[in-house]
Structure 1
Amino acid sequence: MVTLKDISRDVGLSITQVSRALGGHTDVNAATRERVQLAATRLGYRPNAIARSLKTGRSGIVAMIVAGSRDPDSNAHLFEIVMGLSAEISALGLQFVLHVGQPGADVVKLHTELYRSGGIDGFVIIGPSPADPRIKCLTDLGAPFIVHGRDPEQPHPFVDIDNFDVGRTMADHLLSLGHRRIAFLNGPLSEFFAIQRQRGVDAAFAAHGLSVDPALMRSITMIEPQGRSAARDLLQLDNPPTAIIAGNTMIARGVYHAAADAGVSIPGDLSVLAHDDGLELFPAAGFEPPLGGTSAHLSAAWISLSADLKQIIAASKTPMHNRILDLTFDKGSATQSILVDRSMPVGP
């Protein structure tokens, strides 16, 4: 194991100077700090976590607590989140812990117990709902935390995208192509991102002098089997949709399977768009025909979230870090224009 003594010998400085350089002390000039840090990285030095904890009062550990699930598809999605988030947090010199409770566990109680145990410096929250009790709990405890997503009813630090624009952009594109029977396979409406996406779809229809058909708006768990089941039901309607917006690429994969099962051609009979989170198991580039839609990869969210959480933990007072990440749109090859259905009712 590489020690301070090894770095001292490598750079020709005393152990005390090396220690103060790695600790960021201001009495060490910038050039020396950089030389010592480069040597530490090259030699593979890792600071002793116990010693650091005794010195700083911090463990260097951040946690994410989730209730367990017996759904393998949901767990696969969680695995991708954990892999990306853990890698970015580790790159900043922190350690990431995933705490999985039993299905239906009281996650507020778990947050309280884990923080009061004294071993956790901060928390990551994902999938917030309006008036989310986890956010209130950590705020009341004074615990450092950051949220992927937003709870509009409570002030808190977050990293998010403009989910209103996700729904509006995709619906507007399909409406501009002449589609009127547009289905939306959205996420759970208990979560703010899904509420905002539905509002965006509604706004796009209103801008075209139209209103959505509630029978084509579905709120589902955002995994492939649910997308396949919902799309199958929609395609069996007497007047099926000519286009489907999928909340993510997992749902879109289910839509593609349902269309194939029903002998429905994409994009000949059905146009499809989806929001792309950059999931490794469901890349948009892996669809045939290539899938288009909005895109904001989770990898960018994890980078910003990790950096902001580290700053929040280091601050004596919790700053309000709020970031809205960039969103892009690609029309892809899974949509085509159709004749506008003039029989559709207009107005709200």
Structure 2
Amino acid sequence: MNLKELSEHLNLSQTTVSRALNGYPEVSEATRRRVVDAARALHYSPNTRAKGLATGRAMAVGHVIPLSGQHEMVNPVFGDFITGASEAYVKAGYDLMISVVEDGCEEQHYRRMKAMGNADGVIVHGPRMDDPRISLLVELGLPFVVHGRASNVNTPYSWVDINNNRAFRRATEFLLDLGHRRIALINGLESMDFAFRRRAGYEGALAARGLAPDPDLMRSGEMTEVYGHRAAREMLRRDAAPTAFLTSSLITAIGVRRAVHDAGLTLGRDVSVITHDDDLSYLKNGEHIPLFTATRSSVRVAGRISAEMLLGQIGGDMPSPATRMLEADLIIGQSTGPAPH
């Protein structure tokens, strides 16, 4: 069924039906309810292009992904975020537009996006400590929400973030309570804001117990399985090897687990591991009992919240800037135990 057929069924003009479906205030509540009920009963789905012409919007949200040799955004975590965001877009009748651009070409792409008007707003991924995209988008007047934060940016902006500092402080405290003193941190790239905050939480927990962070027990890099394996293998070969690892990704933790196994050690008995981001749709942390102890905060939920926040700004229903801090739960799995004597 198209708009013309729905209008004829209701004996109303196409303009009235369109305005009722798009929430225009000049349409009475009784008429709006009648139109909405009929559209639902007759399975009417508005044409996105026509709806855009009626509202003056593109009815699309952009996600610009840099193709970087240093920080790979397209991974299982990104996939879960996009899934959550898409749930909000579909519900609101918006399309998702993903653009993969060469590293360093983002500014040009955002300017072209604004000039062409093919997106009503954007989600910013992987913010760096001093991220130039924020001031650019403010300058362009393009609505945006940052997934994460940029610590060195003072301009107010909208964001959705996990309390990374608290999550890693709590995880480190848990290992300290188990008697561990040589705790290694296998972090993400610390030019990224989330990794900077996670290291601060780790170091803060150690300092509170009178322990100085050991640079030899800290690594920063792209969060891959190979990176986790190499870092853990090198540390475990030392005379003063760590008895516990704290990793920034389940993918990295899998590499650490492989290194522990290769060293002839038992996970949770000889070496403990706590990871982050274990709640992924296609990379589960065990089936019934979690394999890894983890700090868990759903990336999919973060995607949905970010999208809803952005859509609220586009529609004028939410103040800008708006912020949302999400907390992580500590999930106890099989990968942690008392420090070995």
TM-score using structure 2 length: 0.90
Flag structure 2 segments of 5+ consecutive residues without an equivalent: none
Measured on the aligned residues, the alpha-carbon RMSD in Å equals: 2.6
CA–CA distance in 2 between the matches of 1:321 and 1:73? 27
Q: Deviations over 1:202-254 (max 9, x none)?
A: 11111112122111111111122211221211212221110111111111111
Show the 5 A alignment for 1:324-343: 324-338=325-339
Q: Which residue of 2 aligns with 1:201?
A: 202
Once the two structures are TM-superposed, the CA of residue 32 in structure 1 deviates from its matched residue by 4.8
SS where residue 99 of structure 1 aligns?
Answer: strand
* Separation of aligned partners in 1, 2:303 and 2:335: 29
Task: Indicate how the Cα distance of structure 1 residues 224 and 13 shifts in structure 2: closer, same or farther if over 3 A, else same.
Answer: farther
- Alignment deviations for residues 13-65 of structure 1 (CA, whole Å, 9 cap, x no partner): 52454333212133445465345334434544332333333332211111111
Please give the residue correspondences for 1:136-175 in structure 2 after superposition, counting only pairs within 5 Å.
136-152=135-151, 153-154=153-154, 155-175=156-176
Matched, 1:106 2:98: no
Structure 1 residue aligned with 2:82: 82
Taking the TM superposition and a 5 Å limit, the aligned residue runs for 1:6-85 are 6-8=5-7, 12=10, 14-16=12-14, 17-30=16-29, 32-68=31-67, 75-77=74-76, 78-85=78-85
Which residues of 2 match residues 266-285 of structure 1 at below 5 A?
266-276=267-277, 278-285=279-286
Q: Give distance in 1, aligned partners of 2:268 and 2:72.
A: 27
Query: 2:290, 2:144 → 1: CA distance?
Result: 41
Structure-2 separation of matches of 1:267 and 1:313: 48
CA contact (8 A) 1:183 1:243 kept: yes
Mapped partners of 1:336, 1:267: distance in 2: 5
Q: Does residue 1:214 correspond to 2:212, yes or no?
A: no
The verdict on how the C-alpha distance between 1:339 and 1:267 changes in structure 2, with shifts beyond 3 A counting, is closer
> Number of residue pairs matched?
337
Question: How far 1:146 moved relative to its partner?
Answer: 0.6
Q: Sort the Cα spacing of 1:131 and 1:41 in 2 relative to 1 into closer, same or farther, 3 A.
A: farther
Structure 1 residue 231 corresponds to structure 2 residue 229: no
Deviation at 1:130, TM superposition (A): 1.7
**Would the aligned equivalents of 2:171 and 2:274 in 1 still touch at CA under 8 Å?**
yes
Contact 1:92–1:307 at 8 Å: present in 2 too? no
Identity score, percent: 35
Amino acid at match of 2:63: M
SS at match of 1:131: coil
Inter-partner Cα distance in structure 2 for 1:47 and 1:55: 11
Change beyond 3 A, Cα 1:73–1:228:
farther
2:90 maps to 1:93: no
In 1, are the aligned partners of 2:277 and 2:299 still within 8 Å (CA)? no
Please tell me the residue identity of whatever aligns with 2:338: S
Q: CA 1:255–1:88 in 2, change beyond 3 Å: closer, same or farther?
A: farther
CA contact (8 A) 1:273 1:334 kept: yes
Corresponding position of 2:118: 119
Name the CA shift for 1:74/1:314 in 2 (closer, same or farther; >3 Å): closer
- Tell me the CA shift for residue 259 of structure 1: 1.4
Q: Distance in 1 between matches of 2:288 and 2:73?
A: 21
Q: Post-superposition shift, 1:69?
A: 5.1
Q: What SS class does the counterpart of residue 266 from structure 1 fall into?
A: coil
Cα deviations across residues 113-166 of structure 1 (Å, max 9, x unaligned)? 222222221111011012201111111111111100001223210011111111
TM-score, scaled relative to structure 1: 0.88
Equivalent pair of 1:146/1:158 in contact (CA under 8 Å)? yes
* Kept in 1: contact 2:247–2:274 (CA 8 A): yes
